[in-house]
Chain A
């Protein structure tokens, strides 16, 4: 009865405002951190656009606020806002459990406050700052009429981004999917910069607010029927990727540098012979692939120590190694797949390397004691020379099956002989041990 009364008749602002302030404080901290990144990105953009800065500013101003521009900038800022809100919502969800749930506020009110916080996360960033600059610049400098639909669309796009990111706090899967679809529709409508789109965005957000329901606790998914039946290998790969988590992205940022360098080299040397241009691309892509796979091995070794119990299941060491090799190799393959769009032959030849680096990494992550480097060092010690040889002399790829077989054999041997209990046996938990407490 109490719950029903709270949900049904609670005055909107009495509970909403304190909660919104609470989430706004968290949002502001996230926003301050993000704004540093935003400023950095702005300076980088200005640096890139320096030769044509007035032109670039005018294009930006028009596309954000005037009839003269396209929808590109609006969509870009919506994507930026979505990224920021997605980052922030993780922190907000932590605060939704425990004591906070005992407060006299309905789940719907809490969820609305979360969304308000997600809007605030985006507000002080370069997004609004640049939007304001763009509006002033459009009206006063470029003498172009402001487009109210575009300005409204900008605000609604940020609202859609908040709703899309905030959908994860909603209870029940169907609500999360529905709100996600509605929020995505709102963003599309808002970035179309037409009144019809704005009206669609308003309607979609209003409907989302109606159906979205109360919040759910983080990590506590409702019991679901397991209709899918993943194979052990699929499950093992999924668990490896979950363990890797954000490192799948962060490691790629560094590893992709050789490929970017190869791209710049080609772009700045337009008179290169086709063969030399392809060689540069192959070397850059192969190095990126080898480095990325090798760094993922260290991340996986650190974040997913050997799972002892699984070794007693009817699953061979070779099968476990193969699952790891796929988990490490597929992201690497995805990293260099875009090369196919630049040069099909170079991309295909480089993709052939992926299983070799993956098995080298799978072997390296299984042996971390008694060597001077981590798994990355060991995988690179073999991976980089192989990448160079195979890229420079594609005919040498005939050795590829032998290298894969050798790396797989080494990985399986290490998998079997791993001392998975040594650390636990030699470093017993001392917490609560009276011997230690007395010291």
Chain B
């Protein structure tokens, strides 16, 4: 699989990569291509060459089936300024076959109960991220692709997200997560996908079982080492 922006130099280049259940941390310095890789895995961008399969479904041949199995939380909460918070979550709920009651419930759990009628322009950055997290909580994903999920979140929401990620990982769902805040995830991360710029990509599987060695290794990978 290969992908490049207009300049032509590959941002992501990988061969026969398979990521199993549990938490996979995507690590690398700024600009290494972490967000681009996650966008490719989430079906936001189409690779120049090669294919990506989610739960056995090709992302671009079986678009709906593949996407039904995944949830994606982007680094930047790009929501339509023409939609209300409630409409965004409704959209995700309708596409995932959820009921209005499910949507209301998840809005309440995400602290958005009173914000359903507000347009995206009226929401703070943290509230916008909550909208995307609420939409993600509506799914029962095989694969969760999370780009900086703790960014701009308050303490309570951080705990909720970490618990959700841990629950997915414990249930052997595939969680692929890029973050610069490693501490909440180091204990239960199973492997690391390390990007070193120029498209180079290494899978470290499994991570060291020793907590200290694991922490040190993850820190090194995050710095591009």
B213 contacts which chain A residues (CB < 8 A)? none
CB distance from A354 to the nearest CB of B (A): 23
A235 contacts B92, C-beta separation under 8 Å: no
A315 contacts which chain B residues (CB < 8 A)? 63-64, 67, 95
Dominant secondary structure of chain B at its interface with chain A: mixed
Please judge, given known A-B contacts A219-B119, A312-B70, whether A421 and B90 are in contact too, CB under 8 Å. no
Spot the interface stretch: A69-77, A110-118, A220-228.
A220-228
CB distance from B124 to the nearest CB of A (A): 14
B95 contacts A313, C-beta separation under 8 Å: yes
**In the assembly, what is the distance between CA of A308 and CA of B145, in Å?**
14
B86 contacts which chain A residues (CB < 8 A)? 226
A421 contacts B94, C-beta separation under 8 Å: no
CB distance from A344 to the nearest CB of B (A): 37
A426 contacts which chain B residues (CB < 8 A)? 5-7
Judge whether B14 is part of the interface by a CB distance below 8 angstroms: no
**In the assembly, what is the distance between CA of A308 and CA of B91, in Å?**
14
Residue interface bits A122-152, CB-to-B below 8 A is 1, else 0: 0000000000000000000000000000000
Complex partner residue of A226 from B44, B78, B100, CB under 8 angstroms: B100
Judge whether A9 is part of the interface by a CB distance below 8 angstroms: no
CB distance from A123 to the nearest CB of B (A): 33
**In the assembly, what is the distance between CA of A422 and CA of B5, in Å?**
6
Judge whether B68 is part of the interface by a CB distance below 8 angstroms: yes
Residue interface bits A392-423, CB-to-B below 8 A is 1, else 0: 00000000000000000000000011111110
A420 contacts B44, C-beta separation under 8 Å: yes
B78 contacts A224, C-beta separation under 8 Å: no
Complex partner residue of A312 from B6, B67, B76, B77, CB under 8 angstroms: B67
A219 contacts B64, C-beta separation under 8 Å: no
Judge whether A352 is part of the interface by a CB distance below 8 angstroms: no
CB distance from B185 to the nearest CB of A (A): 21
CB distance from A430 to the nearest CB of B (A): 15
B82 contacts A243, C-beta separation under 8 Å: yes
The total of interchain contacts (Cβ-Cβ below 8 angstroms) comes to: 118
B72 contacts A419, C-beta separation under 8 Å: no
Interfacial residues of chain A within 212-256, with CB under 8 A of chain B in the complex: 219-224, 226-227, 229-232, 235-236, 239, 242-243
Interface centre among A239, A417, A421 (most CB of B within 10 A): A421
A314 contacts B96, C-beta separation under 8 Å: yes
Which residue of chain A has the shortest Cβ distance to B104 in the bound complex?
A: A226
CB distance from B162 to the nearest CB of A (A): 22
A310 contacts which chain B residues (CB < 8 A)? 91
Judge whether A317 is part of the interface by a CB distance below 8 angstroms: yes
B72 contacts A422, C-beta separation under 8 Å: no
Spot the interface stretch: B110-118, B170-178, B187-195, B204-212.
B110-118
Judge whether B39 is part of the interface by a CB distance below 8 angstroms: yes
B67 contacts A226, C-beta separation under 8 Å: no
A222 contacts which chain B residues (CB < 8 A)? 117
**In the assembly, what is the distance between CA of A239 and CA of B86, in Å?**
13
Please judge, given known A-B contacts A224-B117, A315-B64, whether A308 and B95 are in contact too, CB under 8 Å. no
Interface residues of A (CB under 8 A from B): 219-224, 226-227, 229-232, 235-236, 239, 242-243, 304, 307-317, 319, 416-422, 424-426
The 5 closest A-B pairs by CB, nearest first: A312-B72, A242-B82, A314-B68, A312-B42, A316-B63
A-B contact pairs, 25 of them (CB 8 A): A220-B122, A223-B114, A226-B86, A226-B90, A226-B100, A226-B104, A235-B87, A235-B94, A239-B80, A239-B87, A309-B78, A309-B132, A312-B44, A313-B67, A314-B68, A314-B95, A314-B96, A315-B64, A319-B64, A416-B46, A418-B46, A420-B44, A420-B45, A422-B6, A425-B11
Other contacts beyond A220-B122, A314-B63: 11, CB < 8 A: A221-B117, A223-B113, A223-B114, A231-B94, A242-B83, A311-B42, A315-B64, A316-B64, A420-B44, A421-B39, A426-B6
Interface residues of B (CB under 8 A from A): 5-7, 11, 35-36, 39, 42-46, 60, 63-65, 67-68, 70-72, 74, 76-80, 82-83, 86-87, 90-92, 94-96, 100, 103-104, 113-119, 121-122, 132, 145
